[in-house]
Structure 1
Amino acid sequence: MTTIGIISPGAMGSALGRAWAAGGARVVATVDGRSERTRGLAHGLELLPSLADVVRSADLVVSVCPPAHAATVLDDVLAVVGDHRPLLADLNAVSPETVRGLADRAASYGLDLVDGAISGGPPEPGDDTMVYLSGGRAAEVAALPADGIRTRVVGDAVGAASGVKMCTASVYKGTTALWAQALQTAHASGVLDVVLDDLAEAFPEQVPGVGRRIAVSTTKAHRFVGEMEQIAATQAAAGASGELFEGMAAVYRRLAATDLAELSPEEARALTDLTSVLTRLRP
């Protein structure tokens, strides 16, 4: 039985862990020092007393955390790994350059690191959340049975999977920020109904649920700021200017400071009235 250690068992990390557990793996985590919400999200995982217990029990250690914390989490893992040599997988939304730096840091401890990128929401049984993987040992992670996860190895080089994430997230999260900006402006200008009627002709499937989409993203905006900055750096390194997603980072930074951002994602999913959502986006 493969033992998988989940570092930061929030909504995504815990769901990934349960998917692997359903495939037959032993999945361990710790909620030491974490919030009551995280403790609730980690249901179905085997909880151990400390990070050291998780790392030293695992064949594979998976990091799923806000991108700004990826380096700190890796350092925390390296600080307790001792003589144990698990495979590491970084599934955070970071740039190719950032994850290559993490891999070099892990290699200095004699550890291999697989680059991973998650596309979609937390997996559920029968779902197909996509996990892109790259690196010399990516196939080992891809081969793990899971209920709700689909994997694709995109190359042998660490950085390739993160490159995919930076491109797809720029569209998914960038368009959400654009919806928020446009509709908040329409609401303030007194033309929201007219704008929605116009946009519904081009985006008939998106308009009905746009309020919930904006609300849920706002509750995660503090995490998205770092992700937008990583996208900006990735685009700049590719020869595309980074200014657009520096601006997107500013949008999510503003959203993170609103009343709506204080809700949990679960609470935000219950919000269906667009006008109410937009009103709560004011500073």
Structure 2
Amino acid sequence: MAAGRTVTLGIVSPGAMGSALGRTWAAEGHRVVATVAGRSERTRGLATGLELLPDLDAVVATSDVVVSICPPSAAEDVLTDVLAAAARTDASPVLLDANALAPDVVATLAARASTAGLALVDGSVSGGPPSPDGDTVLYLSGPRADEIASLAARHLRRRVVGPRVGQASAVKMCTASVYKGTTAIWAQALESAEALGVLDVVLHDLGEEFPQQVAGAGRRIAVATAKSDRFIAEMEHIARTQAGAGTSPELFEGMAAVYRRLAATPLAASSPEEAAALTDLREVLSRLV
């Protein structure tokens, strides 16, 4: 791909983040395609602004770049499906894996892609879905990372962090350990405080040091709970990453247990959009029982 050239990008799958990424590229004149075959009505709604094709074969055959952005537990199956579609259609797109995976896992995926004759770029997203008032960064690594970074994308900063597949994922594993790990700590602490009858005192104490975090605790915990099912695997990948780095995996094995418990609560049945409307902390905590 030559720098500055208009390309076709295929989004697999067009959820909240994938669709938003697609629209950032489309806003700069790139063609962005996806399929919602077999997907939920929510996903169909989120895919607004993308060119919808009938199936994955059509997406892969049409695309210069295929972007995989899905729950980490599905990443290997998505790659299998994309490689099969490429073989059926004799296509050879560049693959961008933008999932929350441990570096050694994405390296394994890259090796599988290479065996099939396709190049895989390692990517990770920091921040929420790209928006005019947000700050979203796409970290990239691997031999062809510069090609993806050169694609104009509105409201999306692109940063190449190194030449090796796995380096962009390593960034995600480290930053997510702070962002999502602290959310799990807030949930544990405030649920415990409520159960023990000391929530007001705990909030007052924490509010002196973390006023903004206390003010937004209800919404933050609610949104994380709505996404908790996918966060379980992400915490497990963080634990795997930390073990590989020579640090202790036990902390994030515990964080996975927190999100596994949250995923079993009534609040977990909410969509992220519904959860984002919940701001009353006590209401949120009551729905975690």
Shift of 1:125: 3.3
The equivalent position to 1:24 in structure 2, one of 24, 29, 42, is 29
Matched, 1:250 2:257: yes
Matched, 1:178 2:185: yes
In structure 2, the residue matched to 1:122 is: 129
In structure 2, the residue matched to 1:42 is: 47
> C-alpha deviations, 1:30-75, integer Å up to 9, x for none?
0000000000000000000000000010000000000011000000
- Residues 47-196 of structure 1: pairs in structure 2 closer than 5 A: 47-82=52-87, 83-125=90-132, 127-196=134-203
Question: C-alpha distance in 2, partners of 1:156/1:169?
Answer: 22
In structure 1, the residue matched to 2:12 is: 7
Question: C-alpha distance in 2, partners of 1:77/1:17?
Answer: 18
Moved more, 30-39 or 269-278: 269-278
Q: Secondary structure at the match of 1:62?
A: strand
Question: C-alpha distance in 2, partners of 1:5/1:128?
Answer: 23
Runs of 4+ residues deviating >6 angstroms? none
> C-alpha deviations, 1:243-282, integer Å up to 9, x for none?
0000000000000000000000111111111001011111
Amino acid at match of 2:51: E
Question: C-alpha distance in 2, partners of 1:262/1:206?
Answer: 24
In structure 1, the residue matched to 2:3 is: none
Q: 2:228–2:260: 8 Å Cα contact kept in structure 1?
A: yes
Amino acid at match of 1:26: R
Shift of 1:23: 1.2
Q: Secondary structure at the match of 2:125?
A: strand
Moved more, 117-126 or 204-213: 117-126
Count residues in correspondence. Answer: 282
Question: C-alpha distance in 2, partners of 1:52/1:187?
Answer: 51
TM-score by length of 1: 0.99
Question: C-alpha distance in 1, partners of 2:282/2:125?
Answer: 31
Q: 1:199–1:207: 8 Å Cα contact kept in structure 2?
A: yes
Structure 2 residue ranges without an equivalent (≥5): 1-5
Question: C-alpha distance in 2, partners of 1:215/1:127?
Answer: 20
Matched, 1:230 2:237: yes
Question: C-alpha distance in 1, partners of 2:69/2:264?
Answer: 24
Q: Secondary structure at the match of 1:146?
A: coil
Question: C-alpha distance in 1, partners of 2:94/2:140?
Answer: 13
Question: C-alpha distance in 1, partners of 2:204/2:132?
Answer: 37
> C-alpha deviations, 1:148-182, integer Å up to 9, x for none?
10011000000000000000000000000000000
Matched, 1:33 2:51: no
Q: Secondary structure at the match of 1:228?
A: helix
Question: C-alpha distance in 2, partners of 1:235/1:2?
Answer: 37
Question: C-alpha distance in 2, partners of 1:39/1:9?
Answer: 8
TM-score by length of 2: 0.97
Q: Secondary structure at the match of 1:81?
A: helix
In structure 1, the residue matched to 2:217 is: 210
Shift of 1:204: 1.4
Q: Secondary structure at the match of 2:216?
A: helix
Q: 1:126–1:147: 8 Å Cα contact kept in structure 2?
A: no
Amino acid at match of 2:7: T
Identical residues among aligned pairs (%): 68
Q: 2:34–2:51: 8 Å Cα contact kept in structure 1?
A: yes
In structure 2, the residue matched to 1:200 is: 207
Q: Secondary structure at the match of 2:211?
A: coil
Structure 1 residue ranges without an equivalent (≥5): none
